[in-house]
Amino acid sequence: MAAYWMWWIAAAALIAAELLTGTFYLLVVGIAVACGGLAAWLDWGIPYQWLTAGILGVVGTALLHRWKQQQGSGAKQPALDVGQMVRVEAWGPNRTARVNYRGTTWDAELAAPDTPQGETMYIEGMRGSVLILSDHRPVGA
C-alpha cells in the first residue's frame, strides 16, 4: 500500500473521531495529516511529509484556538432551573437534602446557613449537579 494511503486513512480516522468530540481540533489535525498524505502523493521525502503535517497541525490548532477565544462564549444563558419549586424528600446531616425535581432525586444544599429548612423550597442556583435551595423564590426568577 502506498504511503499516501496510510496518511489518508489516518486523516479519515481523525476526522471521524472529531464527529464524536465536536471541538474542531481533531478536524484541524486530520486536515494536516491529509496534507501530509498529499506530500507523500507528490513523492516528497518522508521527513517533508512529517514536517508538512506537523507544521500545518500546530499552526492550524493555534489559529483555531485564537479564533475560539475571539468568539467568546457569547451571552450567558440564564439558568432555567432557578426559581423552580422543589419538594424535599428528606433532610440529611450538615443541612443537606434529597429533593424530587424533574422526575428524579437530586442532592441539595441550603443557600445560607440561616435558611430555614422546609418541605417546599426554591432553587436559587446550582453547583455542578447539586441544587442550592432557598426558602423563598429568588428575585427575578
In tens digits, what is the pLDDT along the chain, a chain of 141 residues? Answer: 899 999 999 999 999 999 998 889 999 999 999 999 999 999 999 999 999 999 999 999 999 999 988 887 655 556 778 889 998 888 888 888 999 888 889 999 998 888 888 888 999 988 888 999 998 887 765
CB 133 within 8 A of CB 111: yes
CATH topology of domain 85-134: OB fold (Dihydrolipoamide Acetyltransferase, E2P) (2.40.50)
pTM confidence score: 0.54
DSSP 8-class letter at 94: G
pLDDT attached to residue 29: 97
What are the residue ranges spanned by the domains of the chain? Answer: 3-71, 85-134
CB 124 within 8 A of CB 138: yes
3-state class (DSSP) for residue 96: strand
pLDDT attached to residue 24: 93
Give the number of residues written for the chain. Answer: 141
